[in-house]
Amino acid sequence: MVKWEIVHQKEGITDTMRINILSTISTAINTYEESEKYKIATDVKNWLEATYGKKWCVTIGDIETFQSACSYYDSKFLAINEKDFGWFIQVFQQIP
């Protein structure tokens, strides 16, 4: 079972959205190898765009070393730690 730690959830991500996003990430993780972060991120991004509209971004990196700078739209931002693989994952809608 994947273990999640919610690092930051902005008000544009509802609790229902968060639950659905985590479920989709979990499914993608179970579909691919641990080394296939890009495929996992792409599957989640495609699901987000089909479900919540265009311009979503999903980033995955190691908790200890991952860094990023981004602009998100309409407070739609979720950052989580995935404990089994030690990943930091960001999900956000980009500014149109």
CATH class of 4-94: alpha beta
Q: What's the predicted TM-score (pTM) here?
A: 0.91
Query: What percent of the chain is modeled with pLDDT above 70?
Result: 98
d(CA 11, CA 85): 27
pLDDT tens, position by position, 9-44: 999 999 999 999 999 999 999 999 999 999 999 999
Checking if the pLDDT of 1 tops 60, the result is no
φ/ψ bin of 65: left (φ > 0), alpha (ψ from -120 to 50), beta (otherwise) = alpha
- Sign (positive or negative) of CA dihedral 60, 62, 68, 70: positive
d(CA 57, CA 64): 21
**Domain coordinates of the chain in residue numbers?**
4-94
pLDDT tens, position by position, 47-67: 999 999 999 999 999 998 988
